[in-house]
Chain A
Amino acid sequence: MNTGVHTVSPVRLPGGGVVSRLACGVVQPILSRVVRRIARRHPSLFARLGPHQGTDFLIDPVDLPFALHLRPDPDALLFRAVPRDAVPQAGAVIRGRFLLLLELVDSEEDGDAAFFSRDLEVSGDTEAVVRLRNALDDVDGSIAEETAAMFGAPGRAVLARLRRAYTPEMERT
Chain B
Amino acid sequence: MSLAELICPAGTPAALRTAVDAGADAVYCGFQDATNARNFPGLNFTPDELAEAVAYAHARGTKVLLALNTYPPAGKVDLWRQAADTAARLGVDAFIVADMGVADYIARTHPGVRLHLSVQAAASSPEAIRYYCAHFGVRRVVLPRILTIPEIRQIKREIPCEIETFIFGNHGLMVEGRCSLTNYLTGQSTNMDGVCSPASDVEYARHEDGSMSSQLAGFTIDRFGPEEKAGYPTICKGRYTAPHRPEGYYAFEEPVSLNLSRLLPELIDAGVHAFKIEGRQRSKSYVRGVVRAFRAAVDDIRAGRQANMADLVALTEGQKQTQGAFETKKWR
Within 8 Å of chain A (Cβ to Cβ): is B202? yes
Contact residues in A for B288 (Cβ distance below 8 Å): 1, 107
Given A1-B289, A3-B314, A126-B202, are A116 and B284 also a contact pair (CB < 8 Å)? no
Within 8 Å of chain B (Cβ to Cβ): is A138? yes
Binding-face segment, B6-14, B119-127, B185-193: B6-14
Within 8 Å of chain A (Cβ to Cβ): is B177? no
* B319 and A134 form a contact (CB under 8 A): no
Within 8 Å of chain B (Cβ to Cβ): is A139? yes
Highest count of chain A CB atoms <10 Å: which of B41, B204, B227, B316:
B41
Contact residues in B for A127 (Cβ distance below 8 Å): 41, 198-200, 202
Contact partner, A121, options B204, B232, B314, Cβ 8 Å: B204
Q: Tell me the interface secondary structure of chain B in the complex.
A: mixed
* A130 and B224 form a contact (CB under 8 A): no
- One digit per residue, 1 when the CB lies within 8 angstroms of any chain A CB and 0 when it does not, for chain B 281-319 equals 111111011000000000000000000000000111111
Pair count A-B, CB < 8 A: 111
Interface size class of B (residues with CB under 8 A): 35 or more
Interface positions, chain A 112-131, Cβ under 8 Å from B, are 112-113, 115-118, 121-123, 125-127, 129-131
Given A127-B41, A134-B40, are A116 and B317 also a contact pair (CB < 8 Å)? yes
Once bound together, how far apart are the Cα atoms of A49 and B140, in whole Å? 36
Within 8 Å of chain B (Cβ to Cβ): is A146? no
* A126 and B199 form a contact (CB under 8 A): yes
Within 8 Å of chain A (Cβ to Cβ): is B73? no
Once bound together, how far apart are the Cα atoms of A122 and B206, in whole Å? 9
> Nearest Cβ in chain B — how far from A112, in angstroms?
6
Once bound together, how far apart are the Cα atoms of A126 and B212, in whole Å? 14
Highest count of chain A CB atoms <10 Å: which of B43, B198, B206, B285:
B285
* B319 and A4 form a contact (CB under 8 A): yes
Contact partner, A1, options B42, B232, B281, B285, Cβ 8 Å: B285
Contact partner, A123, options B13, B199, B204, B315, Cβ 8 Å: B204
Within 8 Å of chain B (Cβ to Cβ): is A50? yes
> Nearest Cβ in chain B — how far from A9, in angstroms?
13
* A113 and B12 form a contact (CB under 8 A): no
- One digit per residue, 1 when the CB lies within 8 angstroms of any chain B CB and 0 when it does not, for chain A 88-118 equals 0000000000000000100111111101111
Contact residues in A for B238 (Cβ distance below 8 Å): none
Once bound together, how far apart are the Cα atoms of A110 and B312, in whole Å? 12
> Nearest Cβ in chain A — how far from B217, in angstroms?
12
> Nearest Cβ in chain A — how far from B227, in angstroms?
8
Known: A127-B200, A133-B42, A137-B284. 5 other contacts (CB 8 A): A116-B316, A116-B319, A121-B204, A137-B11, A138-B13
7 A-B pairs (CB sep. < 8 Å): A1-B285, A50-B42, A113-B286, A116-B231, A118-B212, A123-B203, A126-B204
> Which residues of A are in contact with B by a Cβ distance under 8 Å?
1, 3-4, 48-50, 104, 107-113, 115-118, 121-123, 125-127, 129-135, 137-140
Top 7 nearest A-B pairs by Cβ distance? A134-B42, A131-B42, A3-B314, A138-B12, A107-B284, A127-B199, A4-B314
